[in-house]
Amino acid sequence: MNRMWSGQAFSVSHADDGKFVGEGLRAFFEYRDLGIAGATGGQFGAHVIRAVPGRESPAAWHKHDLAFQMVYVTRGWVVFEYEDSGEHVLREGSCVLQPPGIRHRELRHSDDLELIEITAPADFATHDADAP
């Protein structure tokens, strides 16, 4: 039984125990759940996301219904475009805070892209959006 502290349980995730699955939001990415959603009752989510080599983004504009979304690139590079901010090349060590509801799209990425995404809540709706 997991003891809860302020609605959260202790959680540890190791890379050698983690499994990447292709059942996430985008078919050109694979996702490894870090156990944060389960430990926080869904208040927060965290994934390691990596590119599926040879698969490209359709570069579709979209937005998310969430309170917080942060992306930190650990390997490779990715190009995002954001409303009112334009294109940004994020590479190893880059971090972006995507405000709630901001329209954005992923334009392209390296085959070795890997990033960490942290969200609140863990599960959220994604909607297609018109270009800004």
Q: Which of 72, 11, 76 is nearest to 47 (CA)?
A: 72
Spell out the domain ranges in the chain. Answer: 18-117+124-128
| pTM reported for the whole predicted model | 0.85
Q: Which two tokens stand for residue 46?
A: 């965290």
Spatial separation of the C-alpha atoms in residues 67 and 11, rounded to whole Å:
22
CA distances 67 to 59, 101, 110, Å, are 23, 9, 28
14 Cβ contact partners less than 8 Å away, ≥ 6 residues apart: none
The predicted structure's pLDDT at residue 25: 57
Fold of 18-117+124-128: Jelly Rolls (2.60.120)
Low-confidence residues of the chain: pLDDT under 50? 1
50-68 per-position pLDDT tens digit: 998 887 878 889 999 999 9
The predicted structure's pLDDT at residue 81: 97
Spatial separation of the C-alpha atoms in residues 56 and 58, rounded to whole Å:
6
